[in-house]
């Protein structure tokens, strides 16, 4: 989903691997103090972004913040990235109304056309993940794909390989979806986002929300970008076996 972003982002990001031994402040911007619109029932809060024991924890809990009754967590890269392999190791949050996101986005907040590439984990059914793209603000390219064992039960590896004429999605190294329609292929360099949020009013998509009795969290233990033509950066990387 669309996200507000700082306007001073770098134009070109280079290959990196983030293992969350700490939160690299030169790479990541922590969203704090706003929401993405009426669909989001929580305010981004810096204290919902925590790194410990090699994992990024994005939290969600009941607490009044501005005009919302809950707070939630998001980070985004300061740089924008273009064609290459994007990867994340994720344990998504479960619960009707929740959305765990690993996606890339650029749009009006950066005075650019709205392009986006998504992995979105709908907490109402963690057995699947939704894939999608937006090109110049036009979406409608959703596809639900099974996640072996469930996205909320354990960590799984998610990746997409974005090229000029093709977009390929992978789960645990297995190709699960390919996009070749030019109308569904983004072209603008984008920022990388990791997020957890919920909604009261998107019931048909996310399910009916119920405020959780205890804090909810999504976890990430690795995020990586490998530019096209660069060598793969870790043994499990999809970039190591691309054709």
Residues with a catalytic annotation lie at 116, 120
Beta-carbon contacts of residue 142 (< 8 Å; ≥ 6 apart): 130, 131, 132
The single residue listed with the structure tokens 């789960």 is 171
């Amino acid at each position: 989903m669309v996200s507000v972003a700082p306007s001073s982002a770098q134009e070109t990001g280079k290959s990196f691997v983030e293992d969350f031994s700490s939160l690299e402040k030169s790479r990541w911007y922590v969203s704090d103090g706003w929401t993405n619109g009426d669909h989001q029932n929580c305010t981004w809060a810096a204290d919902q972004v925590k790194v410990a024991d090699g994992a990024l924890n994005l939290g969600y809990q009941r607490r009044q913040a501005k005009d919302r009754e809950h707070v939630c967590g998001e980070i985004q890269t300061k740089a924008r990235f273009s064609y290459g392999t994007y990867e994340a190791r994720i344990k998504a949050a479960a619960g009707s109304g929740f959305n765990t996101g690993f996606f890339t986005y650029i749009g009006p907040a950066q005075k650019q056309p709205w392009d986006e590439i998504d992995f979105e984990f709908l907490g109402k059914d963690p057995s699947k993940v939704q894939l999608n793209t937006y090109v110049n603000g036009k979406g409608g390219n959703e596809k639900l794909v099974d996640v072996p064992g469930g996205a909320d039960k354990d960590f799984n590896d998610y990746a997409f390989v974005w090229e000029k004429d093709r977009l390929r999605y992978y789960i645990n190294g297995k190709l699960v979806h390919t996009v070749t329609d030019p109308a569904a292929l983004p072209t603008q360099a984008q920022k990388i986002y990791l997020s957890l949020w919920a909604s009261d009013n998107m019931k048909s998509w996310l399910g009916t929300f119920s405020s959780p009795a205890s804090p909810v969290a999504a976890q990430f233990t690795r995020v990586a970008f490998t530019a096209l033509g660069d060598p793969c950066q870790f043994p499990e990387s999809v970039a190591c076996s691309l054709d």
